[in-house]
Amino acid sequence: MLLRHTSSEVMERSALTINPAKTCQPIGAMYAALGLHNCLPHSHGSQGCCAYHRSTLTRHYKEPVMAATSSFTEGASVFGGQANLLQAITTIFGVYNPDVIAVHTTCLSETIGDDLVQIIAKARSEGKIPEGKHVIHCNTPSYQGSHVTGFASMTKAFVTYFADPQAEKTQAINIVPGWVEPSDMRELKALAKQMGVEVILYPDTSDVMDTPYTGKHDFYPKGGVTVERVQASGGSAATIGLGLSASSPAVEALQSKCAVPGTMLELPIGLQGTDRFIDTLHKLAGVEVPQEITDERGRLLDLISDMHQYVHGKRVALFGDPDQLVALTEFLTLLDMKPLYLVTGTPTPQFEARVRKALGGNTPEAKIKAGAQADMYLLHQWIKNEGVDLLIGNTYGKYIARDEDIPFLRFGFPILDRVGHSYFPSVGYKGAMRLVEKILSLFMDRQDRDALEERFELTM
Amino acid sequence: MSIDPRVVKDELIQIYPKKLRQKRSEQIVVTQKGEGGSVPEIKANVRTSPGIITQRGCTYAGCKGVVIGPSRDILSITHGPIGCAFYSWLTRRNQTRPATLEDPNYINYCLSTDMQEENIVFGGEKKLKAAIREAAQLFKPKAIALFSTCPVGLIGDDVHAVARELKEELGINIFGFSCEGYRGVSQSAGHHIANNGVFKNVVGLNETPHPEKFKVNVLGEYNIGGDGFVIEELLTRCGIKQISTFSGNSTYDTMANAHTADLNLIMCHRSINYVAEMMEKRFGIPWMKINFIGADATAKSLRRLGEYFEDDALKARIEEVIAEEQEKVSGIREAVKARCTGKTAMLFVGGSRAHHYQQLFKDIGMKVLAAGYEFGHRDDYEGRKVLPTVKVDADSKNIEEIDVVPDPVRFRPRRTAERIEQMEAMTEMEFRDYVGMMPEMDDDTLVIDDLSQHESDRLLEMYRPDIFCAGIKEKFGVQKMGIPCKQLHSYDYGGPYAGFRGAINFYKDIDRMVNMKYASFLTPPWAAQEKEAQQAAAD
């Protein structure tokens, strides 16, 4: 047994986290910054933070992740990191020549109390930031929030630094996609294009975290939203924010700074989420929904109707990030599955209310926990008490899945042992079809594996 | 290769600001052996300049991630915000194999105090104590190790005091490591801190005797990809008892028992030499650098054990094992060599692997063009003979040097000083020594310490080697260039690469990588046609 010390007896814990269902803020800020064109993320702290974040993102995407660090040593920790950051800014513009350096803080620089606004102003006044270049920042102490809130903070920093209240008013719609995969961002843009809506989407990691094999290492790949587009987003007609936890801060900032009205939706994962996204786009942009999209929706429903018997009533445990869990809960409920156990390490005040809303009165016995000690150890204990038919979460779930012999759907961040998430979307109707296909394959493979010889089915 | 490495060196550093250029010029050396095999001096184990994209990690990674993490029944609790524990959770592939289902195995667990803002403001000791009590209740471990992350040192939480208090209260061994990420210039500081902690708190606590005649520890072997299993199996076949490794597949009890061995074998000199020296001073156990990477290197290392134990039966068994294994290796090696001869490699990784793996490439006829360590020191490049001349800077001074004296009862020199001298004179054996990477490299190759992303990209453009060896952060950028990249930390999730069996695995993997077909499909047919048409028009 891989997790042989996990017992079914749940003991109340007040201090110890075991097998966390979250990681720290800075990695989220780094991922968001990769979605800005010609931008080098910069970690203001010890070298290890940057190395760990780059490694984790790289394992998830199998792509180069370029980011720099302030390389704190003991001296910087005593005297403050200003000298390190000033030197880093000079070196980065001189050697790596980005358009933007996106700095995020760490628990170290936050505990010291480095004032990023002041340091960046000093860099500018000392001429360390070349004409037309930018240094932006967000505060991401690791002792607050999680990787999700770090992502949200850097996305908001795009707005606070770049979105222009004086930008020319356009009919464009801003989309703040939340922490989703490059494949999802690509799909959201494709759906909008299909509907004939001009969108400004950011962060946008498509063509950054899914680049082709070309024989060349493009230090700054062609993807990512440009600074000009973020500036222009201040003049857009409206903003749609996807995923309340990851996108609300940026959408609110756009509204208050540039008076762009924002609509917040849960992630368009599954049928209902996608319905709301398409419908909102349709209303805000005043465009018709093309028949192709309606047909795609129909095909999703058709698939569900064809295979409903295999998913109906299945008990599911989920762990991961709040936005993903809420959207998945709603979709699984539509499939007549039972999302029973949900944990997210991300402190999320409205988490249970959002999940209950997504459940729509179904599965009232569901156990839901967010924040402190809402970890995979607890989830595993719940599973040990009353088993489930399916586990959904990031790669770390494979240890529970193997011990308990439960079908396992890899979903979320990080996925370290399978590919596909960066190439094939899970948003939109097509994404929902992919999810259904994956869930079906898991159940049907299991049935094929376990069936008595006389019950081994040719057609399913 | 017609490229002048001196020109390459200038090319690599010309973009840097002046001071940085100067510093890097001392960290990039063109090898050239002088009189008596002397090698040029290299600057190493110095700070990475802020803003440089480096391979390096932090002190916590070296302490918890590298040295202590692989031991399966020391329960590790990371004291800090969640990230550090999360990122060091199972990511280093330290395989471990408990003897029974009942034996403790904590390796798949990640424990953290998940410090929140109030713990930073009001102190985190209370939460740490509560976490230790909860962990003890749930896991019932023999030992708990506490690891400090960056903010812990700043706010003044005293993990050592907490460890002492809870050790008393719970009656189990609890010890702390001040391995805050900012403490050194790389992981290397963390190795040293881990060595100190293990020596002070673990080694010597288990007196279980062993009847075997030949007893060794294998230090600096972390059982990545199962390397440690291969080595232990080889030793066992030869009739040598492995008391403990530090620390792949180890347990608290084996490490506590390590002082009963009669010889310490060192694989990764950088990460573990400290504890070997301390064990020699306190218990009288000599240490020897060996290398189980490469078939010939493995054979040589095994033969040294025969010489050390001065036993003819042992020597004969060792020869039998070598003969048996080399026969399996040679056919495959020759076949792979035929396909790989003349191809080129670069290795930039770790603190020993960039040296050890050069031998494997030479075995199959490949040439090493450039190499360097991520966190090595001068002695890892130039050999321990330079130690007396190494300047100890502020970044190294803040790491404790333990003053070790002989144990009044248990100090027992396994070999007299005279005998060791005789052995050194009569055989190829060297005790307490490591010759380093550079003496074993060809002239006019490049040695680069703490390679930056910019240097790596330029180096690859200029040389276009057939394979590049590094880590996960470098891998995919290299591969975009059409050059395969072998990860030498994680082995690309393969291995083992140690011993004879491991050498076969490595030869096959390299053969597969340098002879892959996909890179020749870079240009789509339409682009090729266009190019041809342009060429024709130009002609």
User: What CATH number did the domain enclosing B79 receive?
Assistant: 3.40.50.1980
Using alpha carbons, list the distances in angstroms from residue A212 to A56, A64, A222.
Answer: 20, 12, 11
Nearest chain B residue to A377 by CA distance is B109
pLDDT tens-digit series, residues B103-118:
999 999 999 999 999 9
Q: Which of B11, B125, B157, B480 would best serve as a mutation to test chain A binding (most A beta carbons within 10 A)?
A: B480
Does any domain span residue B206? no
- At B297 the pLDDT is 95
- At A317 the pLDDT is 98
CB contact under 8 A, B154 and A108: yes
Does any domain span residue B497? no
| Section A175-189 average pLDDT | 98
The dihedral built from the CA positions of residue A196, A202, A205 and A207, taken in this order, carries a sign that is positive
pLDDT at B539 over 90: no
- At A323 the pLDDT is 98
pLDDT category, B320, cuts 50, 70, 90? very high
Domain interval for residue A347: 292-450
| Section A312-339 average pLDDT | 98
pLDDT at B1 over 70: no
pLDDT category, B394, cuts 50, 70, 90? confident
Nearest chain B residue to A77 by CA distance is B182
pLDDT tens-digit series, residues B75-91:
999 999 999 999 999 99
Our CA angle for A60, A139, A203, nearest 5°, is 45
Does any domain span residue B510? no
CB contact under 8 A, A91 and B17: yes
- At A78 the pLDDT is 86
To the nearest whole angstrom, how far is the Cα of A254 from the nearest Cα of chain B?
28
Same domain assignment for residues A262 and A302: no
| Rounded Cα gap, residues A278 and B20, in angstroms | 53
Instruction: Give me the torsion for CA of B120, A152, A120, B53, rounded to 10°.
Output: 90
CB contact under 8 A, A108 and B20: no
Same domain assignment for residues A275 and A330: no
Residues of B in contact with A95 (CB under 8 A): 15-16, 51-52, 454
pLDDT at A433 over 80: yes
Nearest chain A residue to B86 by CA distance is A23
- At A114 the pLDDT is 97
CB contact under 8 A, A112 and B154: yes
| Rounded Cα gap, residues B478 and B474, in angstroms | 6
CB contact under 8 A, B119 and A143: yes
* Domain end call among A241, A270, A289: A289
| Section B363-373 average pLDDT | 97
CB-closest option in B134, B150, B481 to A216: B481
| Section A332-347 average pLDDT | 98
CB-closest option in A63, A72, A377 to B182: A72
Pairs across A and B, CB distance < 8 A: 266
User: What CATH number did the domain enclosing A356 receive?
Assistant: 3.40.50.1980
Residue type, B403: D
pLDDT category, B538, cuts 50, 70, 90? confident
CB A75 within 8 A of CB A64: no
Beta pairing, strands B143-148 & B173-177: parallel
Same domain assignment for residues A304 and A438: yes
| Rounded Cα gap, residues A167 and A170, in angstroms | 9
pLDDT at A234 over 80: yes
Sheet holding A173-176, edge to edge: A199-201, A173-176, A238-242, A262-265
CB contact under 8 A, B54 and A143: no
- At B163 the pLDDT is 98
Does any domain span residue A364? yes
pLDDT at B16 over 80: yes
Does any domain span residue A455? no
Residues of B in contact with A76 (CB under 8 A): 182
Same domain assignment for residues A425 and A398: yes
pLDDT at B448 over 60: yes
| Rounded Cα gap, residues B32 and B355, in angstroms | 17
For chain A, the domain total comes to: 3
Residues of B in contact with A94 (CB under 8 A): 15-17
Same domain assignment for residues A331 and A429: yes
Nearest chain B residue to A145 by CA distance is B116
pLDDT category, A245, cuts 50, 70, 90? very high
Same domain assignment for residues A309 and A442: yes
Does any domain span residue A9? no
Same domain assignment for residues A179 and A191: yes
DSSP tally for chain A: helices H, then strands E: 17, 14
| Section B339-367 average pLDDT | 97
- At A32 the pLDDT is 98
| Section A420-434 average pLDDT | 98
Complex ipTM, two decimals?
0.98
Same domain assignment for residues A296 and A278: no
Same domain assignment for residues A280 and A330: no
| Section B362-378 average pLDDT | 97
Q: Both tokens of residue B439?
A: 């003496």
pLDDT category, B242, cuts 50, 70, 90? very high
- At B2 the pLDDT is 76
Q: Give the pTM.
A: 0.98
The mean predicted confidence, pLDDT, of chain A is 98
- At B56 the pLDDT is 98
- At B495 the pLDDT is 96
Same domain assignment for residues A311 and A370: yes
Does any domain span residue A120? yes
Same domain assignment for residues A297 and A446: yes
Does any domain span residue A156? no
For chain B, the domain total comes to: 1
Does any domain span residue A358? yes
CB contact under 8 A, A66 and B119: no
Could you give the residue numbers annotated as active site of B?
58, 61, 92, 191
Does any domain span residue B63? yes
pLDDT category, A399, cuts 50, 70, 90? very high
Nearest to B263 by CA among B239, B238, B237, B289: B289
CB contact under 8 A, B50 and A19: no
| Rounded Cα gap, residues B223 and B225, in angstroms | 6
Does any domain span residue A385? yes
Q: Which residues touch A271 (CB under 8 Å, ≥6 apart)?
A: A297, A300, A301, A304, A331, A334, A429, A432
| Rounded Cα gap, residues B228 and B247, in angstroms | 9
Same domain assignment for residues A210 and A262: yes
pLDDT tens-digit series, residues A72-131:
999 888 899 999 999 999 999 999 999 999 999 999 999 999 999 999 999 999 999 999
Domain interval for residue B72: 59-183
- At A170 the pLDDT is 98
pLDDT category, B428, cuts 50, 70, 90? confident
CB-closest option in B53, B108, B479 to A2: B108
- At B426 the pLDDT is 87
pLDDT at B423 over 90: yes
| Section B119-130 average pLDDT | 98
